[in-house]
């Protein structure tokens, strides 16, 4: 295989691993945060609005990690800077 094929294979595999591994942490974190918020609301129902508001802000912060992983995988698949270097080196 030539170098372009290897770069393509490496980009696809790396993008897949980035999404797979990068989504596990936020999913577990959001699940744990939701479970703790529900437990807190069950113990203090009068504070449910405040807990819910704080929960949504926290979940948005946790979800940003997964979004960053998605962006990195899209860069690897569609705007990979190594492709441009390869094209320049081979004269294409």
For the stretch 52-80, pLDDT in tens is: 999 999 999 989 989 999 999 999 888 88
pTM (2 d.p.): 0.73
Q: What is the pLDDT of residue 86?
A: 79
Query: Residue 91 pLDDT > 80, yes or no?
Result: no
pLDDT in tens, 17-46: 999 999 998 999 899 999 999 999 999 999
26-81, what's its fold? Answer: F1FO ATP Synthase (1.20.20)
Question: How many Cα atoms sit within 13 Å of 88 on the Cβ side?
Answer: 5
Number of Cβ atoms within 10 Å of the Cβ of 8: 17
The whole-angstrom separation of Cα 57 and Cα 88 is 45
């Amino acid at each position: 295989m030539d170098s372009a094929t290897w770069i393509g294979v490496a980009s696809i595999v790396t993008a897949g691993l980035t999404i797979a591994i990068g989504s596990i942490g936020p999913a577990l974190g959001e699940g744990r945060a939701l479970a703790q918020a529900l437990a807190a609301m069950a113990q203090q129902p009068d504070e449910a609005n405040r807990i819910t508001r704080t929960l949504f802000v926290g979940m948005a912060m946790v979800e940003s990690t997964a979004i960053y992983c998605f962006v990195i995988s899209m860069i690897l698949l569609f705007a990979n800077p190594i492709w441009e270097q390869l094209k320049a080196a081979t004269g294409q």
